[in-house]
Amino acid sequence: MRTLEDLLAEVEAFEGMAPEHLRLIAGCARNVVFGDGEWLMREGDAADTFFVIRTGAVAVSTHVPQHGALLIETLHQHDLVGWSWLIPPHRVNFDVISNGTTHAIAFDGACLRGKCEQDPVLGYDLLRRFSAVLVERLQRTRLRLIDVYGHVPGR
């Protein structure tokens, strides 16, 4: 039977992480399952959890007044979901909903913040890894915006 540490070692964002750090973060984790249409996170709520998708998919969206939900992106296997647990004021910035049955690893943000306070090397490592994910997501969003707004007729 594979442990949470084994599962985390397969996730690109944690690739090359020291085994003792994988053990520490796995201590703040548990397996969870979401049914189709079930909320993982709601914009504005306390950000006390983040997820690694094991199987399935989730939609990340934001509410636009007078338009409803605007899909930002869809995340799949091994993607990290949620970064606000790491950055004050620890509030969720987007809605996240399951598309079909989704298996994930859920991490207790307060537990991880505590471990980061006790082990600054772990804290820096996680901040560096999550920052890389944020930059990648911002770049993908930038490319989508260029697709939508990049061509202006008559220019």
pLDDT in tens, 90-104: 999 999 999 999 999
Q: What is the pTM of this model?
A: 0.88
pLDDT at 69: 87
pLDDT in tens, 106-124: 999 999 999 999 999 999 9
Cα separation values, 133 from 33, 64, 68, 126, 148, Å? 23, 24, 27, 11, 23
Domain boundaries, the chain: 4-149
Residue 150 pLDDT > 80, yes or no?
no
pLDDT in tens, 22-55: 999 999 999 999 999 999 999 999 999 999 999 9
pLDDT at 152: 55
Residue written as token pair 């890389």: 132
> Contact at 8 Å (CB) between 82 and 58?
no
Helices (DSSP H) in the chain: which residue ranges? Answer: 4-9, 19-26, 109-118, 120-149
4-149, superfamily in CATH?
A: Jelly Rolls (2.60.120.10)
Residue 43: closest CA among 3, 81, 96, 102? 96
